[in-house]
Amino acid sequence: MTARTARAERSARLGSSDVVLGVWLLGLAGFVDAIAFVVLQGSFVAFMSGNSTILGSSTATGHWGLVGLTALLVVLFFGGCFAGAAIVRWVGHAHRVVMVAIAVVILVGAIVATTASEWSGMVLVALAGGLISSALSAGTDVHVGLTYVTGTLVKAAHQLAAGIGTEHPWSWLSTVGYWFSFAVGAALGGLAFRGFGAQALWIAVGLAVVACVLPVRGRETDAPDDPGAGVRS
């Protein structure tokens, strides 16, 4: 086996592990977003397009409490995205650190939601939504940030149209699967909240901990092909 073949096989293997992690994170995001939707009465911790619509319409109608809530969620999500991107850029073992950060933020949110205020706990989880989006966009080979779940459907539709009459008519299914994982996560989150209330966030903590140990194509773990090339960040 040549070095090039070995690298190609390793890339395929690691890329597959990224798909597993990406699907898992999208499911986790859907899970917490569904809980937030109920607790925050229609606002989100991952779906910022929805929050932006709510922010604009609430401003127009003078619902200033809702304006403040959605603005805070957007700011926290933005902060989570920034933190995730900064970790990926500057911190060693970046991908693991991002996963741990996601788990810690959801843990803190669960503690606050179950011991003090459901509302405050869920607002904190918006930070985790941003971290998850950064992990998907910059931390794996699955470039499907949470802000592009709708775009994933668009991409799948385009792939379906492009695949008709070709040797790969079903390639669109793998793309729509990312949307499906988010939707399934949301359904499970809604069911969990229905059964356990805010305690359902502890399930989200468990899912986040599992994400910490799933294999990932971390750039920091890829040995450079050229020994003198240094470590890629």
Buried b (16+ CB within 10 A) or exposed e, 158-191: ebbeeeeeeeeeeebeebbbbbbbbeebbebbbe
Pick the CATH number of 18-216 from 3.30.1490, 3.90.1280, 1.20.1250, 1.20.120: 1.20.1250
Q: What is the pLDDT of residue 195?
A: 97
CA distance 219 to 231: 9
CA distance 42 to 190: 13
Consecutive H or E run containing 51: helix 48-61
CA distance 182 to 33: 10
- Residue (of 210, 197, 198, 188) closest to 102 by Cα position: 210
CA distance 126 to 80: 8
DSSP 120: H
- Give domain limits for the chain: 18-216
Q: What is the pLDDT of residue 43?
A: 96
Q: Which two tokens stand for residue 210?
A: 């599992």
CA distance 98 to 75: 19
- The dihedrals phi and psi of 81, each to the nearest 5 degrees, come to -60, -45
Q: Do 86 and 185 touch, CB atoms closer than 8 A?
A: no
Q: Do 204 and 31 touch, CB atoms closer than 8 A?
A: yes
With both helix axes pointing from N to C terminus, report the angle between 201-213 and 118-138 in degrees, rounded to the nearest 10.
20
**Consecutive 10-residue runs of the chain (233 residues): their mean pLDDT?**
46 60 92 97 93 97 97 97 90 83 98 96 96 77 60 84 87 86 96 97 97 70 36 27
